[in-house]
Chains A and B, each alone.
Chain A
Amino acid sequence: MLEINSLTRTYGPHTAIQDISLTVAGGELVTIAGPSGCGKSTLMRCIAGLLAPTAGQVALNGTAVTTVPDRLGVVFQDYSRSLYPWLSVAGNVALPLRCRERRRAARRKAALAALEQVGLAGSGDRYPWQLSGGMQQRAAIARALACDPVLLLMDEPFGSVDAQTREDLEDLVLRVRAERNITILLVTHDIDESVYTGDRVIVLTGAPGRVRAEVPVDLPAPRDQITTRELREFAHLRAEVSRLVRTRQAPGSPGTAAGAVPASPRARGNASPTEGPGLSPAR
């Protein structure tokens, strides 16, 4: 349902992402991991239609993305900026509904339903700054869901909440996905999170960001914060992704995570990673 074709975005002389190609099927939850500065946010903005690519294209359900598509939900990292402090929580969630629903009462009803789905029933009349960070991010997720999206983009959504809250929010995303069968693209710098939540992890290289590898995650569903994380496969997968994120790609050695870390026996669970096409020499 989402097709990204040789996407490149430059800022002046600086190339943020280069030649990224990626296909996401309907209902899939794909996580994107990579070292900091690998252009994850640039990639998200291009997919959301917020940023025009320098080259290549993004297509959603066969239609090229040139502006922000309908039925797209976005959750930003910085919830303190993305939720408007002058609007109540319900007001924030209802705001994007204005373009499609004229009746105020119906908008509010939809907003409260979305808040209930993320576990914020009864908080609609409070203001974002009266909520904890985790609750604010729940509100941001509710706002994205209220638009009834087919595609949900999450840009490091849990980067600034504590570990316990983070796990709760990860489970919330998994639950929402299961309930609504929406397609989710989640950018994260947390390797555990990318494995725990994803059906597939896309690892990007350092700047300029290219697809380094795709790691299918064949962990049993439903995922559970304790039992899933104690699986051997989980440990293997997280080690694999970690190696791919942390080490530079060695020239001409596809599939090998060479560099600072000595090449260790490849961790193989049920899944085996496939290196991406961008095999250019490391610096």
Chain B
Amino acid sequence: MKGLTGLAARLGVLAAAIGGWQLATGPGTNPYFLPPSAIVSFMYRQWFDGPASHLWLTPDATGNLVPSAGRMLAGLAIASLAGITAGVAIGRIRVLAALTEPLAHFARAVPPPVAVPFFLAVFKTGTPMEVASIAFGVIWPVLVNTIDGARHVHPGQLETARAFRLGPAQRLARVILPAAAPKIFAGLRLGLAVALVMMIVAEFTGSTNGIGWEVSTAQATLDMPVIWGAIVVLGLLGTVLNLILAAAEHRALAWQRGSARTQ
């Protein structure tokens, strides 16, 4: 669906879902299902009722939401940089691929949360352990996709680069990376989803603050508003990061949509 009608229809469905939920969870119904109005007002009081000088964040938000988001971005940044760098090298250097690829595919098959206890043992409780856990989850999809993208640059495009005497740095920046970009972005999108999961798992396991820590504390006391509020906040965080990534991808890959339309 396109245009304003499509937007109106989508917002309508969203409003109907929230309204239906509100009606179904009125007073006197199941205590585990909070109505949206209660969740929103709780979230406001808990996290977004702060002074303007703190961007309206409450101390609880600066103490939990901000560290969580920071760890996630740090993990994403480290893993993206490492994954793209190693992926291009492995994708372009055949010997390296033969040596490392089985290892990469094995590591990718390991469910990332199982690495959290290991990082907990190595780094103890705290931010380094959480960032390492997130980075471990993100790096494999980024790496494997980048390898694929860097490997399958069209031979004609590489031969052109050689025929016009482009140096290695230019070949990388002007030919290999742009050609691999669609795959790299696919890897980043997968990595982003994993990052959110790993942030929560790591904070469940070994943290003294953060949104995951807050939820796991609430779990012990059946503090339903915190649990529901965290679900919504995490959904929003994931949506916003996805939108940012999608916008970056849209910009970077405009040529791909254009050339796909005309060929």
Interface residue ranges, A against B (CB under 8 Å)? 48, 50, 68, 70, 72, 74, 76, 78, 80-82, 84-87, 95-96, 98-99, 127-130, 143, 147
- B174 touches A (CB below 8 Å): yes
Main secondary structure of the interface of B (DSSP, over half): helix
Interfacial chain B residues near A82, Cβ < 8 Å: 156-157, 159-160
Q: In chain A, what residue has the closest Cβ to B155? A: A81
A sample of 19 more A-B contacts (CB under 8 A), given A98-B166, A128-B259, is A68-B162, A68-B165, A76-B156, A81-B156, A82-B157, A84-B157, A84-B178, A85-B255, A85-B259, A86-B179, A95-B164, A95-B166, A96-B166, A99-B165, A99-B170, A127-B255, A129-B259, A129-B263, A130-B262
For A50, give its contact among B159, B179, B262 (CB under 8 Å): B159
Interfacial chain A residues near B262, Cβ < 8 Å: 129-130
Q: In chain A, what residue has the closest Cβ to B255? A: A86
CB distance from A104 to the nearest CB of B (A): 14
Q: In the complex, what distance in Å separates the CA atom of A85 from the CA atom of B181?
A: 12
User: How many chain B residues touch the partner (CB < 8 A)?
Assistant: 24
Which chain B residues in 8-46 approach chain A with CB under 8 Å?
A: none
- B111 touches A (CB below 8 Å): no
Interfacial chain B residues near A80, Cβ < 8 Å: 263
Q: In the complex, what distance in Å separates the CA atom of A68 from the CA atom of B166?
A: 10
Asked if B160 and A76 sit within 8 Å, CB to CB, the answer is yes
Interfacial chain A residues near B263, Cβ < 8 Å: 80, 129
Q: In the complex, what distance in Å separates the CA atom of A204 from the CA atom of B226?
A: 80
Q: In chain B, what residue has the closest Cβ to A82? A: B160
Interfacial chain B residues near A68, Cβ < 8 Å: 162-165
| CB pairs A–B below 8 angstroms (7 shown) | A48-B163, A76-B160, A81-B156, A82-B157, A85-B255, A86-B179, A86-B256
Q: In the complex, what distance in Å separates the CA atom of A130 from the CA atom of B262?
A: 7
A129 and B160 in contact, given A68-B165, A96-B166 (Cβ under 8 angstroms): no
Nearest 4 A/B pairs, CB to CB = A81-B156, A96-B164, A129-B259, A86-B178
- B3 touches A (CB below 8 Å): no
Q: In the complex, what distance in Å separates the CA atom of A73 from the CA atom of B227?
A: 66
Interfacial chain A residues near B154, Cβ < 8 Å: 81
CB distance from B166 to the nearest CB of A (A): 7
Asked if A84 and B175 sit within 8 Å, CB to CB, the answer is yes
Which chain B residues in 187-207 approach chain A with CB under 8 Å?
A: none
Asked if B156 and A74 sit within 8 Å, CB to CB, the answer is no
Q: In the complex, what distance in Å separates the CA atom of A245 from the CA atom of B42?
A: 84
Interfacial chain B residues near A70, Cβ < 8 Å: 165
Q: In chain A, what residue has the closest Cβ to B167? A: A99
Interfacial chain A residues near B258, Cβ < 8 Å: 85, 127, 129-130
Asked if A143 and B164 sit within 8 Å, CB to CB, the answer is yes
Interface string of B145-181 (1 = CB under 8 A from A): 0000000001011011011111100100011001101
Q: In the complex, what distance in Å separates the CA atom of A72 from the CA atom of B179?
A: 25
Interfacial chain A residues near B175, Cβ < 8 Å: 84
A81 and B259 in contact, given A95-B166, A99-B165, A99-B166 (Cβ under 8 angstroms): no
Interfacial chain A residues near B157, Cβ < 8 Å: 81-82, 84
Q: In the complex, what distance in Å separates the CA atom of A199 from the CA atom of B29?
A: 93
Interfacial chain B residues near A50, Cβ < 8 Å: 159, 162-163
Interfacial chain A residues near B164, Cβ < 8 Å: 68, 74, 95-96, 143, 147
Interfacial chain A residues near B259, Cβ < 8 Å: 85, 127-129
Interfacial chain B residues near A96, Cβ < 8 Å: 164-166
Interfacial chain B residues near A99, Cβ < 8 Å: 165-167, 170
Q: In chain B, what residue has the closest Cβ to A70? A: B165
For A81, give its contact among B160, B170, B174 (CB under 8 Å): B160
Q: In the complex, what distance in Å separates the CA atom of A233 from the CA atom of B156?
A: 38
CB distance from B160 to the nearest CB of A (A): 4
Q: In the complex, what distance in Å separates the CA atom of A98 from the CA atom of B167?
A: 9
Q: In chain B, what residue has the closest Cβ to A96? A: B164
CB distance from B20 to the nearest CB of A (A): 46
CB distance from B261 to the nearest CB of A (A): 8
Q: In chain A, what residue has the closest Cβ to B154? A: A81
Q: In the complex, what distance in Å separates the CA atom of A72 from the CA atom of B165?
A: 9
CB distance from B181 to the nearest CB of A (A): 8
Q: In chain B, what residue has the closest Cβ to A78? A: B156
Q: In the complex, what distance in Å separates the CA atom of A48 from the CA atom of B164?
A: 10
